[in-house]
Amino acid sequence: MATTQRTTPTVTLTLTERAAVEVRKFMAEEHAAPETAGLRVAVLPGGCSGFRYSLNIEEKPLDDDIVVETGGVRCFVDTFSAQHLNGTVIDFRSNFQESGFAFENPNATGGCGCGSSFTV
């Protein structure tokens, strides 16, 4: 009788220093414990291009989450999102026209003007 091993997918995710600073500010405002809490980075169906990004501060990872440490921040990624986020760089931009997190995703084949929706 053969046993099956379940392998956890891996994901490479990078927060720039600017993004990490902003996430740490949000975590401090929400009184999230830095040793257990982290940033949930997810891909959800929706948006004008098919998928949209979602960012939330959470107290701890779920049992099947992939935990990635980047820029001194723990990031929680579910297995569905991992396949769409691998290699993504998350930056924080602030200028006269916009302020917020920006995603550079090598898996996206298209996007829209809002920058928070993409196609794979």
- The pLDDT, as a whole number, for residue 113 is 55
Range of the structural domain that residue 63 is part of: 20-113
Which whole-number Å values give the CA distances from 115 to 14, 50, 57, 98, 119, in the listed order? 18, 12, 21, 11, 11
Is 105 a member of any domain?
Answer: yes
Is 39 a member of any domain?
Answer: yes
> For the chain, how many structural domains are there in total?
1
Is 85 a member of any domain?
Answer: yes
CATH code (residue 91): 2.60.300.12
Is 1 a member of any domain?
Answer: no
Is 32 a member of any domain?
Answer: yes
What confidence tens digit (pLDDT) does each residue in 44-80 have? 987 666 888 999 999 999 999 999 999 999 999 999 9
Is 5 a member of any domain?
Answer: no
